[in-house]
Amino acid sequence: MITDYLNKKTIRLKVEAHDREEAIREAAACLVEDKKIKQEYVEQMIDALHKFGPYIVVIPGIALAHAEAGETVLEECMSMITLKEPVVFGHESNDPVSIVFVIASNTRDKHLEVLMDMSKHLMKKEFIQLLNESEDVEDILQYFKKEEEKK
């Protein structure tokens, strides 16, 4: 399922960002460019971060940025970036963040399904290590393909 969304266009490695807002904007940029989400969705993710705090930093070093499903999502999608230098999101135990995923869906059920699928991967130490050390997007894509073949 993850390979339905992540590809060479939606994964970027060693991206520069100076703060959490810029990290989210950078992670979402390819989705805005491909007209999968509206710029308003990016602002909704940032507004949610300001309003609810850094709840999106789900485990040490990783943020799953998302906002409420709705009209600002034109097509279900996902993107991922690794940061050149980690960024502080304000989470007391999981900062700093070096990997940012953006998850966007137009239905709540699909949104939760993708979040659950991703959370299974995030529990695996070898996956986190791969994300942190990878120099090639293809390595990450191969990981997801192998995992999906096991199902």
Residues with catalytic roles = 66
- Is the distance from CB of 105 to CB of 69 less than 8 angstroms? yes
3-state secondary structure of 51: helix
Q: What are phi and psi of 50, to 5 degrees?
A: -70, -40
How wide is the angle at C-alpha 97 spanned by C-alphas 29 and 122, nearest 5°? 90
d(CA 74, CA 35): 7
**Which residues are 37's β-sheet partners?**
73
Per-residue DSSP letter, 134:
-
